[in-house]
Structure 1
Amino acid sequence: MDLRVREAVEDDIAPMHAIRLAVRENVLSNPSWLTAEVYRGCLAAAGAACTWVAELDGRVVGFSTARLDQRDIWALFVDPACEGRGIGRALLDAATAWLFARGVDTIELGTTPDTRADRFYRDAGWRRGEMSPRGDVIFRLSHPSMAAPISLETASC
């Protein structure tokens, strides 16, 4: 398995969107709002956000987006056919390291309760918190002893 995590580029938008629509949990109730422009906004955020893709043998199989102003991980999705191979963890590590390197002391994210993602974040050392008004469970991770070290290539943006 040749797994590589790198900063996303515009050509990655189509495979990222395909992955987002293919997930079996945390499914979008109204996918029409998630347009190419939304992805482009994350790619062009110039230091306010960073998006990474995971490539497995040269094919995009997952992506994550961290947002500095919100101090959160906005997205982390893996192709369902590739789950369980460490891809999500590699993307999570990239996003957390990027945020911590920019001075964020606590990172938040939300996910649907009682899903694989819910278990994934708990197993990764995140604190499970309250429910959001949308019905997601909020997770928090505090600086930085829980974040695994990553390569400089992965931390770019």
Structure 2
Amino acid sequence: MIFREALITDIPEIQIVRHTVKENTLSDPKLVTDADCEDFITNRGKGWVCVIDRQIVGFSIVDLKDHNVWALFLRPEHEGKGIGKTLHHLMMDWYFDQTQDLIWLGTAPNTRAEAFYSLQGWKKVGVVNEAEVKFEMSYDDWKQFNVTN
């Protein structure tokens, strides 16, 4: 299992991972283009991937411009192995090394993702994008979470 920064050449496999998820699926796979992925991992923020047997099985991407988690997804068969937690930690440590600004994310309610983010110290603050649960994390909350976990 290898964790590393995402590269432009990883985008086709990132898209495959994104389209294999069972929750938080895209209503239209064309909504997130390769150009979007490239912009987020090269201009707006940064991304990380987990590689097992030369195949990307998970990825995370954070957006410094809008201060949000743009994506964190795993192939369903690789859930529960600590991959998501490691990708999350890499992303959040990098984000808070760049800025101390509050970060937010949205995810579908009543999903494993909602439970995951709660366990990672995120605070529910309302609703975003009409029906998603909105979470926020402050710099101080992230640092405190890392001390206690």
Asked if 1:64 is matched to 2:60, the reply is: yes
Query: How many Å separate the matches in 2 of 1:141 and 1:13?
Result: 27
Q: RMSD over aligned Cα, in angstroms?
A: 1.6
Aligned to 1:74: 70
Asked if 1:97 is matched to 2:110, the reply is: no
Give 1:111 shift. 0.3
Contact 1:96–1:107 under 8 Å retained in 2: no
Call closer, same or farther: CA 1:147–1:136 in 2, change over 3 Å: same
1:125 alignment partner, SS class: coil
Contact 1:125–1:146 under 8 Å retained in 2: no
Structure richer in helix, relative to its length = 2
Call closer, same or farther: CA 1:36–1:74 in 2, change over 3 Å: same
User: Which letter maps to 1:94?
Assistant: L
User: Which letter maps to 1:41?
Assistant: D
Give 1:56 shift. 2.3
Q: How many residues align?
A: 145
User: Which letter maps to 1:88?
Assistant: G
The answer to which structure, 1 or 2, has the higher relative contact order (CA under 8 A, 6+ apart) is: 1
Identity %: 34
Aligned to 2:84: 88
Equivalent residue in structure 1 for 2:106, among 107, 110, 120: 110
Aligned to 1:155: none
Q: Which moved more, 1:55-64 or 1:78-87?
A: 55-64
Aligned to 2:30: 32
Aligned to 1:153: none
Unaligned ranges ≥5, structure 1: 150-157
**Structure 1 segments (4+ residues) deviating >3 Å:** 146-149
Contact 1:4–1:54 under 8 Å retained in 2: yes
Asked if 1:42 is matched to 2:40, the reply is: yes
Q: TM (normalized to structure 1)? A: 0.85
User: Which letter maps to 2:2?
Assistant: R
Give 1:146 shift. 4.4
1:113 alignment partner, SS class: coil
Give 1:147 shift. 5.7
Give 1:72 shift. 1.0
Unaligned ranges ≥5, structure 2: none
